[in-house]
Amino acid sequence: MNLALNAQKGIVLAQRSILYSAITSSYQLIGAVFAAPLVQLIIVSTLNDVVQFSWDGITPAFPITAGATIILDVKSDGIIVNANDGCYVKTLGTPSSGSLYFGGFTV
């Protein structure tokens, strides 16, 4: 991540979401890949079971538990999010209700 980005203001990332019934055993991209460097990612789960998150649709990153709210301060934590990364999810459990919501900020 370019340290010169520190002086830039965040741009709101359009909310992305997926309904429980659309989550399968294969990774699915939610929305599109990130077009600009990510600053912060907010994940809200209203699902009733756990799903797996991935940045690239190949490598598991972390599980999202039922009812979780996750705030990743990507910029401050020095997390590198590549240009073609995005929000990918697949089932770990068997959600039968709820949705996943993704929001945040880019620069």
| 23 token code pair | 């989550």
Residue 7: pLDDT band with limits 50, 70, 90: low
Residue 5 reports pLDDT greater than 90? no
Q: Tens digit of pLDDT for each residue in 56-79?
A: 999 999 999 999 999 999 888 888
Could you give the angle at the alpha carbon of 82 between the alpha carbons of 79 and 86, nearest 5°? Answer: 95
CA distance from start to end of the chain: 11
pTM: 0.87
Please give the residue that has the higher pLDDT: either 22 or 8: 22
Q: What is the mean pLDDT of residues 7-32?
A: 91
Q: Domain range for residue 19?
A: 3-106
Our count of domains for the chain comes to 1
CATH code, domain with 80: 2.60.120
- Looking at every residue in the chain, the average pLDDT score rounds to 90
Distance CA 68, CA 36 (A): 26
**Length of the chain counted residue by residue:** 107
